[in-house]
Structure 1
């Protein structure tokens, strides 16, 4: 079955919004290769310094240290991982702040009306440090993850409510999270050179206060079968969680994490790879590896945050590289979707589609200044495939 068709039927069956996205492949597909993108080549940079395909436009949504237009809220420094939530006829975009607790770390949200105009903005988490990525839950909360030693996952409430730490999900250098409503688990990446890939099995689905932390067990290769084993001591002290289970598989700098339709993907920055885990068959493979690209230079380096579209395309942001968001299609083809110019000391992060799938939000963490106080959050609008 073509994976975008499978995505649509699977997403609806699972009760998840259609903009969750997917990239369902057959068993052991080849890693993505260079190709012309589905939207064509990139044009010259626009007024915001962003190169886009024909038909797409960009605008600045928020700047660190400045009041968000249409609100009274000052946008946070170092915007990072993000997600969108349906909100009546509009939506909410949530963004982490990868700053220290003393510099305003945590997370914020912007509410948009049906036309994409900001109507409100506020902080939803404060007093935490280096909130890098995270993930949304099916019950409309945002899991904000601390990328520090013995970091925590914080469950935040974009629609109102007080954020709560979820220590049962493990204490380690957290990066991203992705909820799997079929298996009723949450997948978690770890940003260490010898990090692990975890899943949290809540005692009760929808309540993350208690449960079992597990780690992926597999061979050292780039494909094969995998299983899960319980982590004996999730608080990571005195022995780090990544060192507690013999045979657990090491990943070089876990970053983004995305789930849809019996598949979960993670990115690893240390080796510029996108990994695909086929949950139905308990097998894994490479969806992308910059060392395996033929027919030209590898387009994607410094892999970081990841998101998917309702059509079945995967969007991967770069931390470094040449400041691109690259697109991997259902046919295992990769190409630049956008490139940000004049911001070589920054990184791209927080890609997320609005519910209709016709707007892509993302941030440049340090903007043109190269400082966390110069972050810029953008929105790209255009004829995205849905």
Structure 2
């Protein structure tokens, strides 16, 4: 899939996230490609990964093969993912971007990182691309199809996934929860898509609520408002066409919230946007046409943050890298996957303690959905 070149400035993740005002300052800086805080990439290791010194990797799952130490066969085309605490260990959840029967699976790890089990958490759905974790430890798996749904899944197992129809029917991509305003932001992967927020009637219960779309003027940046989508089920008219003045975003992709700001990417124009939820303003945080020289990051897709404030951005295409963007605006490769130019990197996520990093190569070296590979990387993360 031929995708976009995006990102230019610093963002931060988790507890160490940048505030909206700091983001505004960062967004005003030009991109500064520079040396990685982890050092240069070494030669490819036995898994075909180029990593900085001190880092190591292992393959934890391959599509259509049994996950080591379990009897569960890993799904095709692994895509968006997240980690969840689970007792003394943790769980990595991964979507399957195929249709029919995409869904999502989970791998449970012991406290020492050993694989304890693997299992399905969602079945019978279509083209589950990205999604997002909730503060109450569920995974929102999004269908990237026309009139697709969001499904709330339970990484711990023991509960059936639930279709959350109130969150709207459209080409869902990613979701990000804002616990301060008690809303969920949603991106739409359409050439003329929109940016939405879902306001649950009761926080923590996504069964009912109000779907709203962002409305703004023609300027790239400035104040915005939100308008209710009259028919979230899109029985007659697509959600993106129901509200006059809804701002268009060509190909919404990754979405991530922290400390009053929701960042989301758009592949059609190679941009990163910052929605300041406190001031209700949207800012054009990055536009690759404004970058001088060669951008170090291309084909930007999924995003995740680290406790250090570093952002990790996976490439769909490009030269198959996951790049790190530091809080002071330096953009550099963190890892590179070799011999898999017909794939894409997706599902970046840190274990709860921040010491292990997971991601997938959706099609591996075969270039087919049956060739997906899911990796773990360990090392001196900041």
Task: State the TM-score, normalizing by the size of structure 1.
Answer: 0.92
- How much has 1:26 moved relative to structure 2? 4.2
- Structure 1's consecutive aligned runs of 4 or more residues displaced over 4 angstroms after TM superposition are none
Compare 220-229 and 83-92 and name the one that shifted more.
220-229
- The question of whether the paired residues in 2 share the 8 Å contact of 1:184 and 1:205 is answered with yes
- C-alpha spacing 1:345/1:93, structure 2 compared with 1 (3 Å): same
- Give, in whole Å, the separation in 2 of the partners of 1:157 and 1:287: 34
- The question of whether the paired residues in 2 share the 8 Å contact of 1:156 and 1:162 is answered with yes
Match of 1:234 in 2: 232
1:175-190 → structure 2 map (5 Å cutoff): 175-190=173-188
Correspondence for 1:27 among 5, 24, 27: 24
- How much has 1:344 moved relative to structure 2? 0.5
- Give, in whole Å, the separation in 2 of the partners of 1:166 and 1:207: 10
Partner SS, residue 224 of structure 2: strand
- Does residue 1:80 correspond to 2:61, yes or no? no
Number of residue pairs aligned between Structure 1 and Structure 2: 368
- Give, in whole Å, the separation in 2 of the partners of 1:22 and 1:45: 32
Match of 1:250 in 2: 248
Q: Deviations over 1:166-224 (max 9, x none)?
A: 01000000000011111111010000011111000000001000000011112333322
Structure 2, gaps ≥5 residues long:
1-9
Compare 209-218 and 42-51 and name the one that shifted more.
42-51
- Give, in whole Å, the separation in 1 of the partners of 2:86 and 2:112: 13
Match of 1:263 in 2: 261
Match of 1:68 in 2: 67
Q: Deviations over 1:80-134 (max 9, x none)?
A: 0000001121100000000112xx4100000001111110010000000100000
Correspondence for 1:172 among 165, 170, 173: 170
Correspondence for 1:201 among 195, 199, 203: 199
- The question of whether the paired residues in 2 share the 8 Å contact of 1:22 and 1:259 is answered with no
Partner SS, residue 27 of structure 1: helix
- Give, in whole Å, the separation in 2 of the partners of 1:324 and 1:107: 24
- Give, in whole Å, the separation in 2 of the partners of 1:36 and 1:220: 37
Match of 1:50 in 2: 49
Compare 275-284 and 252-261 and name the one that shifted more.
275-284
Structure 1, gaps ≥5 residues long:
12-17
Match of 1:280 in 2: 278
- Give, in whole Å, the separation in 1 of the partners of 2:210 and 2:262: 19
